[in-house]
Structure 1
Amino acid sequence: MPLAALSRLALLGRFFGSICRTGWCCSLWSGNSSQSSERCSLVWLSSVTRSSTRDGGCQNRLPVPDGTNVGRQCREVNVLVSETKRRPMRDVCIVGGGVSGLAASIYTARAGLDTLIVDGGESILARNASLENYPGFPDGVDARRHLELAREQARNAGVAFELGRVTSVELRDEDDLEAGFVLETEGGDPLSTRRVIAASWSDSEYLVPLDVGRIQRGSKHFVSVDDGGRTAVDGVYAAGRIAGEPHQAIVAAGHGAKVGLAAIHDSDANFYHDWVVPEGYFTGRGRDVPPGCEEIDDDERRERDERARETILEAFAEPLEERPTMHPSVDRD
């Protein structure tokens, strides 16, 4: 495959963030090009772990249809692009890659749960011209840049991504509620997961087979949840606007995190809090470091701060060319 063609394929990765900064690889696997769009074959899967992020680099080689091996150095990623291999049983499958889904995924993945986001399209936040009420950005931030950084953070935590639209969610076994769920997708193989988090405003039709308790308000349907985002069906959660939360990015992120924590506590994960604390914070009091927490010394703190500053400086070095997405009802002509 010519390098120019590979470059064009790589540009598709901007949907999930800046792949040039992170060293991620993407392949549009289309053995039959006439079916590629229908099969939704852009698959972005990773088997990242928090330890691999710290342990150093790897060499990933991605085969392309003409048999060429394209190598790329990467720090923490092992990418699988396949439509024929058997789908693994995920711990958590999140439907929707907007702010609430990303926040939930960061928590579940950092807690050690195998987490997949199925993203059916652009986040509503991409319609925002300037995000100016999100803490931490005194003069606001471009909403699309914020989404890129959030996706990069999720990938670094170990979240896998797949582009596609979920059409239905059903129990794998009506007689065994612990067996998990099957997610059907348009043009793709079914997905199996132990828990589902719906974060897909405003689409919730795929939840109809489960009777989770949808509430109609005008032309939209919301999902009835408890304080932790749990629905009437064990193992199914809803986060953000689809759960009736206010249409604000910071609220969606906070609720997504809360729902992610609920999914963690409902799982078998050994978890206390997601904290990174200075060395001695626990052990200096004669305590073991609780699960989910990490103690780091000052050298490690400085190294992480340096990486964080480099990431932010690079992310904000140039203006984004992407423009806000207009509301679909507005005539663009």
Structure 2
Amino acid sequence: MHDLCIIGGGVAGLATSIFTARAGLDTLVIDGGESILARNASLENYPGFPNGVDARRYLQLVREQARNAGATFELGRVTSAERRDDTDPEAGFALETDGGDPIEARRIVAASWSDSEYLVPLDVGRTQRGSKHFVSADEAGRTAVDGVYAAGRLAGEPHQTIVAAGHGAKVGLAVIHDSDTDFYHDWVAPEGYFTGRGRDVPPGCEEIDDDERRERDERARKRMRDAFAEPLDDQPTMHPSVERD
């Protein structure tokens, strides 16, 4: 029984997984394959990249960050999601996939734009706009079904990477809150920030001394140098409706 199963390995689902895994929740991401962001030729409006960044490289780094946080991944597509026990809301959910064993989770996050047919048995409330279906959710991604959340474009958020990431993080915080995990706000502070004022370090926070700060900074800079040392060989994915020779 996983604490959380995130359905969709795009930006929103990955952002959710980073926060929930760092909070200590057993987080599984069901990745249906390529994110729609892989169609982007150059991601140029995401803060922190003054000249833009290859969208596929960005996705690789976010997936790596999720794994480093402790999230696990399974490749596949969820075909149905149902309550394990209709009389017990705490019993969690059972998910069927197209290629693997059934998966059980206490909570699920739907971040699988634009596929949400697997949610029909749960009656979360879907609305149709043109050929697409959206899941009804509040600002934090909570749906009408306790334990079921929706993140990113599937929840009606604007179709921009920074928005999807931010909403995914917000949903992750809602999951953490609802799970009663002892969590503050995930902050690495300099040594003495709390203890120097006679306070205990709050849950979810960490104090590090200057040597540790420098070591972490060096590891981070090295990883980014390695990540951007060479261009990616593969090409952005074209929209499936475009014919190519």
Q: TM-score range by the shorter chain?
A: over 0.9
What residue number does 2:41 align with?
129
What residue number does 1:309 align with?
221
Residue 27 of structure 2 is aligned to residue 115 of structure 1: yes
What residue number does 2:189 align with?
277
Report matched runs for 1:182-331 at 5 Å: 182-331=94-243
1:121: Cα distance to partner? 1.2
Q: How far apart, CA to CA, are the structure 2 residues paired with 1:282 and 1:235? A: 34
1:322: Cα distance to partner? 1.2
TM-score, normalised by the number of residues in structure 2: 0.99
- Aligned partner (choices 18, 21, 28) of residue 106 of structure 1: 18
Q: Tell me which amino acid in the other structure corresponds to 2:134.
A: F
Unmatched runs of 5 consecutive residues or more in structure 1: 1-88
Q: Tell me which amino acid in the other structure corresponds to 2:52.
A: G
Q: How far apart, CA to CA, are the structure 1 residues paired with 2:177 and 2:193? A: 24
The root-mean-square deviation of aligned C-alpha atoms, in Å, is 0.5
1:218: Cα distance to partner? 0.6
Report matched runs for 1:45-124 at 5 Å: 89-124=1-36
Q: How far apart, CA to CA, are the structure 2 residues paired with 1:144 and 1:322? A: 9
- Aligned partner (choices 69, 77, 94) of residue 157 of structure 1: 69
- RCO (CA 8 Å, sep 6+): is it higher in 1 or 2? 2
TM-score, normalised by the number of residues in structure 1: 0.73
Residue 85 of structure 2 is aligned to residue 173 of structure 1: yes
Unmatched runs of 5 consecutive residues or more in structure 2: none
Q: How far apart, CA to CA, are the structure 1 residues paired with 2:54 and 2:180? A: 38
Q: How far apart, CA to CA, are the structure 1 residues paired with 2:99 and 2:8? A: 17
Identity of aligned residues (%): 82
Report matched runs for 1:6-45 at 5 Å: none
What is the aligned length?
245
Q: How far apart, CA to CA, are the structure 2 residues paired with 1:188 and 1:236? A: 22
Q: Tell me which amino acid in the other structure corresponds to 1:163.
A: L
Q: How far apart, CA to CA, are the structure 2 residues paired with 1:251 and 1:232? A: 23
Q: How far apart, CA to CA, are the structure 2 residues paired with 1:187 and 1:253? A: 28
Partner of 2:18, secondary structure, is helix
What residue number does 1:147 align with?
59
Post-superposition CA distance 1:261-303 (Å, at most 9, x none): 0000000210111101101111111111111111111000000
Q: How far apart, CA to CA, are the structure 1 residues paired with 2:77 and 2:29? A: 11
Q: Tell me which amino acid in the other structure corresponds to 2:9.
A: G
Partner of 2:46, secondary structure, is coil
What residue number does 1:22 align with?
none
* Structure 1 runs of 4+ with >2 Å offset: none
Partner of 1:301, secondary structure, is helix
Post-superposition CA distance 1:83-134 (Å, at most 9, x none): xxxxxx1001000000000000000000000000000110000000000000
1:227: Cα distance to partner? 1.4
